[in-house]
Amino acid sequence: MSSPVNYTLTDNIGVITIDSPPVNALSQAVRQGIMDALDVADSDGSKAVVILCDGRTFIAGADISEFGKPLKDPWLPEVVNRIEATDKPVIAAIHGTALGGGFEVALSAHYRCALASAKVGLPEVKLGLLPGAGGTQRTPRLAGIEAALQLMTSGVPIAAAQAMEVGLIDRLVDGDLYEGAMAWAQELVAAGAVPRRTSEQEIPAYDAAIFDAFRGTLAKRARGQIAPQRIVDCVEGAATLSFADGLALERSKFAELMDGEQSAALRHFFFAERQAAKIDGLSKDTPTRPVESVGVIGGGTMGGGIAMSFANAGIPVTLIEISDDALARGLSIIDRNYAGSVKRGKLSESAAAACRALISGATDYAALAEVDMAIEAVFEDPNLKKDIFAKLDAVCKQGAILATNTSYQDVDAIAAATQRPADVIGMHFFSPAHIMKLLEVVRGEKTADDVLATCMQLAKRIRKVPVVSRVCYGFIGNRMLQPYGQQSQLLLLEGATPEQVDGAMESWGMAMGPLRVFDLAGLDVGYKAREALSDEEKGDPASYRVPDLLVEAGRLGQKSGSGFYSYDEDRKPTPDPVVHEIIQTAAADLGIERRKISDEEIVERLIGALVDEGRKIIDEGIAQRSSDIDVVYVYGYGFPAWRGGPMYYGDSASL
């Protein structure tokens, strides 16, 4: 087998070329190939060495196939130290993305150039790790303490121009990267340039208070996560220790994290997200249908967000409403959303205008005659949805995909309202739809394979994370939310307060406690949904006594200014003695003797309810695999990724 690393001598420049598709990952063969190439470069007539990559990207990081396995020599720290120790100037030439270990390779080079389109980053924190090959020590020496901390604790890549501003890149190359890098190498040789070792550079001036300030910020922003704090420890070590001692500190902290529960959970989730896109029993060569235009029925918050999701991906959208006034309201919501994106710096004014221009409106279903996909996004009335699908069946061209955004309803019953059930599928977006990444793709009994394959592919195009579900009430996420919510209500009746329940779950890592979630969604939503259920489907009457009483008292949640909490004009929640009294009265009426409940019991019962229902979903074949459920709950329901998802956590904690 040939090496994925090639070395050539062109004039007086040694060229190390890495060619290991698809992303030039740092496999053992690549690491060894770099070492072997440097040995040749040491002994030949080269005056400088250029490291670059073939294919679509520079080294994009570690080889994920080696995750969880014993590492083979040479380790990456040996490789980067060997690059830096080379006695001839070494230039890294970057295109695509240089991430993680790939960027650490570039940092160990003496000089760095990149195409303007390139991005660089150190995303190890997203796997519960820190850069373990000198990244925490070299980055602050080049970029300064603050920029280094931002880059590593966020894990978000930055553009080459920004990297150049902070000192991580030395030169931007126009045109061909190889030619530009070779020309620069000749310039350096002609100028008598010598190796410029990052390890020998001084840390730029800084305020020592920055470390504690970052620790405090991260304690809130990355609540419960260990890796961001360890990154701060290592960067502080870079500023206060020798380079050798800083590397030793980095190595010890990296090993601690690698052996820890959080990194194991995040690595599980890394693979879970990739596995979720695969559909059991569906051939990889299943054809897909073209989707170059979309219709969205319903211009409310959800419909507008769905329209934006497609427009943001360059796909024209026709928004359908029942009247001109309703359409104007819907389009105004979209206008406000785009204005907010510009204000927050998420989109430039020109980009927002270009996206907005792709969204048009109409009040006649005939406007959807030629769309490739129509998505219904009206409120949860099954009869209304069936009426809409009958209209779509009559007006849409043959081959158009007909999708429902229902959160709960029977997709098969909706499909039966058409003469083409094979073209019908569920596409359950999460609000706000233009921001939330999760998309539950609900496969009906008669959904055609090419429709399913198209929707999974389309999800990636609109930057969503798709998870396949079969048909049941609530699908994966909302079905599991029902026992989770019921358990939260029983805890209230048995002695907990709303603020204790939410506080326990948020301290544990949930983005938002269950009662705050219900207030955000609107308590009347669940109230109306229960009206359509049988007594058996509703479950224990005690589990919805309190929210029913709140709705009947006019406390609908945030939108009415009160629910489980009272809300000010900024929608900040405040515990309300009136709610405590309602809970206590309900408990007495039900004959429930209230007691002191610990935070540990709250967490165990609520997470246990999720896990139990998740296992039923797997047993029934609703979800393909338990890790898919983890993806749903992390991306759709604020479950902490560093705990791996409810199913992973349930197994690891023996729930």
**Residue positions annotated with a catalytic role:** 104, 124
Q: What are phi and psi of 558, to 5 degrees?
A: -55, -40
Neighbour tally for 590: CB within 10 Å:
11
Contact of 636 with 506, CB cutoff 8 Å: no
Residue 505 and residue 603: Cα distance in Å, rounded?
A: 6
Taking a C-beta distance cutoff of 8 angstroms, is the pair 293, 322 a contact?
no
User: Is 344 exposed, middle or buried, given 0-12, 13-18 or 19+ CB atoms closer than 10 A?
Assistant: exposed
21 dihedral zone (left: phi>0; alpha: psi -120 to 50; beta): beta
Q: Which two tokens mark 477? A: 């996420």
**Under a CB-based contact definition with an 8 Å cutoff, are residues 353 and 381 in contact?**
no
CA–CA separation, 432 and 649 (whole Å): 27
DSSP H helical ranges for 69-196:
76-85, 101-108, 135-143, 145-154, 160-166, 177-190
Contact in structure between 467 and 632 (CB atoms under 8 Å): yes
Q: Write the burial class of residue 510 (CB in 10 Å: 0-12 exposed, 13-18 middle, 19+ buried).
A: buried
- On the question of a cis peptide bond just before residue 466, with omega within 30 degrees of 0, the verdict is no
Q: Are 399 and 289 in contact (CB under 8 A)?
A: yes
The dihedral through the CA atoms of 635, 636, 641, 647 has a sign that is negative
Tokens 């030629």 -> residue: 370
Measured CA to CA, the distance from residue 156 to residue 487 in angstroms comes to 37
d(CA 533, CA 536): 8
Residue whose tokens read 């490789």:
79
Helix (H, G, I), strand (E, B) or coil at 532: coil
Nearest CA to 447 out of 479, 421, 481 is that of: 421
**For residue 230, what are its two tokens?**
């360890």
What is d(CA 585, CA 310) in angstroms, rounded to the nearest whole number?
49
DSSP assignment of 420-484 = -GGGEEEEEE-SSTTT--EEEEE--TT--HHHHHHHHHHHHHTT-EEEEE-SSTTTTHHHHHHHH
Q: What is the enclosing helix (H) or strand (E) of 384?
A: helix 382-395
Contacts of 204 (CB under 8 A, 6+ apart): 144, 145
Q: Which tokens in the block code for residue 392?
A: 């779509």
- The DSSP code for 66 is G
Which of 399, 321, 408 lies closest to 360 in space, CA to CA? 321
For 515, residues 6+ apart whose C-beta sits below 8 A from its C-beta are: 488, 498, 501, 502, 563, 564, 565
Q: What is the CA radius of gyration of the chain?
A: 28
